[in-house]
Chains A and B, each alone.
Chain A
Amino acid sequence: MRFLTLYLRSRRVPLALVVAAGGTALMWGIWQLASDDRDANSTVVILTVLIAAACFAHTLNGPDDELERTAAVRWPRRRATHLILALGVTVALVLATLATGARFGPPLFVLRDAAGVLGLIALGAALVGPARSWFLPLIWTLGVAIFPQPSPLPAVVATWQHQPPGSRPAAITAAVLALAGLIAFTAYGPARRAAATQA
């Protein structure tokens, strides 16, 4: 229990949870006010998933990575658990709206986007460090939200975040990104960098 408390605190998870919940609530409130439609538009859902997921980017390392690496702790399984729980929390936060008057769904869509975006963040954390890991998923997802493409296949793969939940190429792309991020971050952990680039 003590380890868990210290771990969560060193990762600033409370901040991430508060901001992710606040951001989701804000988007939910905006949709509630701005639209009569119960089901939120997919662009709004994409942006909400992005906000919630991006809040967890900085939780992928602590104040001193080098010190932690010297500890006799099995980090890989903790890193994997951390990522999977972050995915669970992100999906749960967004899907909690399904019980309300403004529904952000469908569940498969949210799960796919959250997994893909968190995979990209984890991949970025392993390659350039958690502090900068959100740049690529942020710009990619914002671009897709503004310029969605229904066809052809390369465009579908490039805009996987916006495809309907049944789209197989989009699901495969998201799964590949999620697995790549999970494996890379689990195996290597946050990128080794000067203290100046830590979150």
Chain B
Amino acid sequence: MSRILRIELRRSFGIATIVMVVVVGAIMLYAAPQRWSSSWMELMMVQREYLVLLWPLAISAGAYQARREHRSKVDELFASTARPRFQRVVPTLGAVGISVVAGYLLMIAVAAPWIWDTARYLPAAAFAVAAVGVLSVIAAAWLGMAVGRLLPSPVTAPLLGVGALAYLAFLPFALEEWLGALISPMADMGSFHDFQTISGRVSAGQAVFLAGLAVAAVVLLAAGSPRARLTALLPALLGLGLGVVVMPHGDDYVYPATDRVAQELVCAPDLPRVCVSRVHEGLLPEVVPKARQALALLAKVPGAPTAAEEKTVTYFEKDAPRPTHGPEIVTIPITVDREGHLAWPGLVVPRMLDAAGADGLGCEHGGAPDEVARAAGSWLSGVEPVAEPEESPETNQEAIALWNDLRKLPEREALARVTALREAVVTCKQTITLGPVKAP
């Protein structure tokens, strides 16, 4: 049996399928590495999203493979052998399945070195997302084989590819969101923030549905008579029904879902306290020196923050509490660049010093104007204001002008103004300036 499988792997379309899946997958992944550079979970989800092409590829490869006997004109000869059909199709099913799975896993292997040294957090949900992806390509390839055998025409395979794309990418829009996510393994895999996850129930529902499809495809391939083929409907419908039961419905279905464990803070061992979210743990060595430098510069302001933390609350959580950072904690701005490292490392300290470490995140009308906040920060560091990426140049010019005004003032007066600015932000004042401090 394993000898037949080996021969089948070599003789079938197997190697070509592996190569196509890996090449197409690698092109999509490396065309935009910033989409998956921040975590393993993100990589697994993006890969699922790229099923939009890999699924049509797998289904077409299966349909192409299934026509082999027809192409070689050995249909009738093989039908006359005294072996059950099922025994004959198993090695081919195995070879095609192994090739698409190998392609899918190799795709992960191609992406892994890119984030190997920065991505740490590897939740069980990431394995579930990848496992559903593997199951989905098996189901696609076998389904392709089944359809290719039922309609052994040279146009079946390419048209099936176009149909699969329409099924995956367009059909979910016509359905309710949870149902679309159940039937399309690439739906709702887009990444909005770094703390995203796919709940176990969603993965389980998708797995049950896809397993039903795969079994239906095997039944179709093994069936000799039209009546036996009809029984293929049973596993398909069973999978759909069970999937509908398992899948969260309506409001219970949350997208994008947040992983609370990924949001938990992980702190550097010594003081002052510097913490980042668990998902960004690998960035801690890059973050700590910058955060401590900022804390040291802030220390001259009365009531300065003594700890630095990443803000882990996202705007996608409907019922999440608003950020509750007290004024004793300064926010570390963390964005991940396409290499998986800290983006704009030169801007981390200036951003932490903005408005002397106060952000208006808890307030209704958040914080100081950019140029005012930046001028105050620059006064603390003594370094000229640096423009943010993709910002209008006027903002930074104004910041430089304000900073120069501050520098001309006596040290005590300037410190008083910066302190007053920080107080105004912390207490959610409406108008925030660097103007002279009125005596109380």
Verify that A and B bind, or say they do not.
Answer: yes
Q: How far is the CB of B325 from chain A (nearest CB, A)?
A: 38
Interface string of B50-69 (1 = CB under 8 A from A): 00110011001000100010
The reply to whether A135 and B20 form a contact with Cβ atoms under 8 Å apart is yes
Interface size class of B (residues with CB under 8 A): 20 to 34
Chain B hits for A12, CB < 8 A: 154
For the complex, would chain B's binding face be called helix, strand, loop or mixed by DSSP majority? helix
CB within 8 Å of B: which A129-145 residues: 131-132, 134-135, 138-139, 142-143, 145
The reply to whether A135 and B155 form a contact with Cβ atoms under 8 Å apart is no
Chain B hits for A132, CB < 8 A: 16, 64
The reply to whether A51 and B159 form a contact with Cβ atoms under 8 Å apart is yes
The reply to whether B162 and A138 form a contact with Cβ atoms under 8 Å apart is yes
The reply to whether B155 and A19 form a contact with Cβ atoms under 8 Å apart is yes
Interface string of B157-193 (1 = CB under 8 A from A): 1110110011001000000000000000000000000
Chain B hits for A197, CB < 8 A: 71
Known pairs A132-B16, A138-B56, A139-B20 / 18 extra A-B pairs, C-beta < 8 Å: A12-B154, A47-B165, A51-B159, A58-B154, A131-B71, A134-B157, A134-B158, A135-B20, A135-B57, A135-B64, A138-B60, A138-B158, A138-B162, A139-B53, A142-B165, A146-B165, A195-B71, A196-B68
In the complex, A19 Cα to B155 Cα: how many Å? Answer: 8
Chain B hits for A51, CB < 8 A: 158-159, 162
CB within 8 Å of A: which B1-53 residues: 16, 20, 24, 28, 31, 52-53
Decide yes or no: A131 and B53 within 8 Å by CB, A138-B162, A142-B165, A145-B165 being known contacts. no
In the complex, A147 Cα to B53 Cα: how many Å? Answer: 10
The reply to whether A196 and B71 form a contact with Cβ atoms under 8 Å apart is yes
The reply to whether B53 and A54 form a contact with Cβ atoms under 8 Å apart is no
The reply to whether B158 and A57 form a contact with Cβ atoms under 8 Å apart is yes
Name the contact of B72 in the complex, choosing from A15, A23, A146, A196 (C-beta under 8 A): A196
The reply to whether A198 and B53 form a contact with Cβ atoms under 8 Å apart is no
Chain A hits for B24, CB < 8 A: 139, 143
Can you pick out 21 interface pairs between chain A and chain B where the beta carbons lie within 8 Å of each other? Answer: A12-B154, A15-B153, A15-B155, A19-B159, A51-B158, A51-B162, A54-B159, A54-B162, A55-B158, A55-B159, A131-B154, A132-B16, A134-B157, A139-B20, A139-B53, A139-B56, A142-B56, A142-B161, A143-B24, A143-B28, A197-B71
Decide yes or no: A23 and B159 within 8 Å by CB, A131-B154, A132-B64, A139-B53 being known contacts. yes
Chain B hits for A55, CB < 8 A: 155, 158-159
In the complex, A142 Cα to B169 Cα: how many Å? Answer: 11
Chain A hits for B56, CB < 8 A: 138-139, 142
CB within 8 Å of A: which B117-175 residues: 153-155, 157-159, 161-162, 165-166, 169
Chain B hits for A95, CB < 8 A: none
Q: How far is the CB of B223 from chain A (nearest CB, A)?
A: 25
In the complex, A142 Cα to B153 Cα: how many Å? Answer: 21
8 residue pairs, one from A and one from B, having the closest CB atoms: A58-B154, A54-B158, A134-B158, A199-B154, A19-B155, A196-B72, A138-B161, A142-B165
Interface hub of A15, A58, A131, A143 (most chain B Cβ within 10 A): A143
The reply to whether A50 and B162 form a contact with Cβ atoms under 8 Å apart is yes
Interface string of A139-166 (1 = CB under 8 A from B): 1001101110000000000000000000
A16 close to chain B: CB less than 8 A: yes
Interface hub of A50, A57, A142 (most chain B Cβ within 10 A): A142
The reply to whether A16 and B155 form a contact with Cβ atoms under 8 Å apart is yes
Name the contact of A142 in the complex, choosing from B64, B68, B162 (C-beta under 8 A): B162
Complex: chain A residue closest to B53, CB-CB:
A143
CB within 8 Å of B: which A32-87 residues: 47, 50-51, 54-55, 57-58
Interface size class of A (residues with CB under 8 A): 20 to 34
In the complex, A97 Cα to B83 Cα: how many Å? Answer: 51
The reply to whether B155 and A58 form a contact with Cβ atoms under 8 Å apart is yes
Q: How far is the CB of A115 from chain B (nearest CB, A)?
A: 18
Interface residues of A (CB under 8 A from B): 12, 15-16, 19, 23, 47, 50-51, 54-55, 57-58, 131-132, 134-135, 138-139, 142-143, 145-147, 195-199
Chain B hits for A50, CB < 8 A: 162
The reply to whether B71 and A198 form a contact with Cβ atoms under 8 Å apart is yes
Chain B hits for A195, CB < 8 A: 71-72
Q: How far is the CB of B112 from chain A (nearest CB, A)?
A: 23
Q: How far is the CB of A149 from chain B (nearest CB, A)?
A: 9
In the complex, A57 Cα to B157 Cα: how many Å? Answer: 11
In the complex, A51 Cα to B56 Cα: how many Å? Answer: 14
Chain B hits for A16, CB < 8 A: 155
Complex: chain A residue closest to B169, CB-CB:
A146
In the complex, A30 Cα to B20 Cα: how many Å? Answer: 31
Decide yes or no: A131 and B28 within 8 Å by CB, A51-B162, A58-B154, A139-B53 being known contacts. no
The reply to whether A135 and B60 form a contact with Cβ atoms under 8 Å apart is yes
Chain A hits for B161, CB < 8 A: 138-139, 142
In the complex, A157 Cα to B199 Cα: how many Å? Answer: 40
Complex: chain B residue closest to A19, CB-CB:
B155
In the complex, A135 Cα to B52 Cα: how many Å? Answer: 15
Chain B hits for A145, CB < 8 A: 165
In the complex, A55 Cα to B162 Cα: how many Å? Answer: 12
Q: How far is the CB of B15 from chain A (nearest CB, A)?
A: 13
Chain B hits for A199, CB < 8 A: 71, 154
Complex: chain B residue closest to A56, CB-CB:
B155
Q: How far is the CB of B412 from chain A (nearest CB, A)?
A: 53
